[in-house]
């Protein structure tokens, strides 16, 4: 049952993720300009150290379009991508929390050097302007309030993450055997 539910949800979620990525890319002309020369090349997000108790993540591979956007390669993925972006997901909850707090997750990039440089630039510099999108849907007054609430929540999440990381490090230090 879980497998069939995953088979239904994975393509839908992957396609929505592609739409969001393309929305962010299209919002910055420099982003599509960086990808346009790589038209036809493929890149894959390879999720490593995924917990075995969770259903496996879907194949996340895209082909760069002539417009400098991404096209999802489908469930079969890209057998030999030109670029692989490796993301350690040993702790998916912490990874999501850090991303929601605005941190860029550490990644390894393997493959074509020029494509790797451009993708790395995108990872480091491209941000989704959520406030502008909220304004289009709700108008400036409501969008401003939602953005303010989101900012407060983001700061609280970052502070909680720092406390949790510090506590985890402290516990780990106390549990570590002492050499002597």
Q: How many domains does the chain have?
A: 2
Q: What is the dihedral of CA 137, 143, 149, 150, to 10 degrees?
A: 60
Tell me whether residue 116 is in a domain. yes
DSSP annotation of 86 = E
Q: What are phi and psi of 130, to 5 degrees?
A: -65, -40
Higher pLDDT, 162 or 114: 114
pLDDT tens per residue across span 130-170: 677 777 778 888 777 877 877 777 677 667 766 766 666 66
Ramachandran region of residue 77, left (φ > 0), alpha (ψ -120 to 50) or beta? Answer: left
DSSP annotation of 37 = G
Tell me the two tokens of residue 150. Answer: 């989101």
Identify the domain boundary among 91, 112, 128: 128
Tokens 């989101």 belong to residue: 150
Q: List the domain range (segments joined by +) for residue 164.
A: 131-175
Most confident among 5-9, 63-67, 83-87 (mean pLDDT): 63-67
Same-domain check for residues 46 and 106: yes
Neighbours of 120 (CB within 10 A): 14
**pTM across the whole model:** 0.72
Tell me whether residue 111 is in a domain. yes
Same-domain check for residues 14 and 99: yes
Tell me whether residue 180 is in a domain. no
Tell me whether residue 9 is in a domain. yes
Same-domain check for residues 69 and 121: yes
Higher pLDDT, 168 or 58: 58
């Amino acid at each position: 049952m879980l497998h069939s539910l995953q088979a239904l949800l994975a393509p839908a979620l992957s396609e929505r993720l592609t739409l969001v990525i393309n929305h962010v890319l299209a919002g910055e002309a420099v982003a599509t300009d960086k990808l346009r020369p790589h038209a036809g090349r493929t890149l894959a997000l390879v999720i490593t150290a995924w917990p075995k108790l969770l259903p496996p993540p879907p194949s996340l591979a895209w082909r760069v379009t002539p417009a400098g956007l991404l096209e999802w390669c489908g469930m079969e993925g890209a057998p030999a991508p030109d670029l692989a972006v490796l993301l350690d997901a040993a702790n998916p909850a912490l990874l999501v929390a850090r991303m929601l707090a605005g941190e860029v997750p550490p990644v390894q990039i393997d493959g074509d050097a020029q494509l790797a440089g451009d993708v790395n630039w995108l990872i480091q510099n491209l941000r989704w302007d959520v406030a502008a999108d909220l304004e289009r849907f709700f108008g400036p007054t409501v969008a401003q309030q939602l953005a303010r609430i989101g900012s407060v929540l983001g700061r609280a999440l970052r502070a909680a993450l720092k406390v949790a990381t510090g506590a985890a490090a402290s516990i780990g230090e106390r549990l570590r055997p002492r050499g002597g």
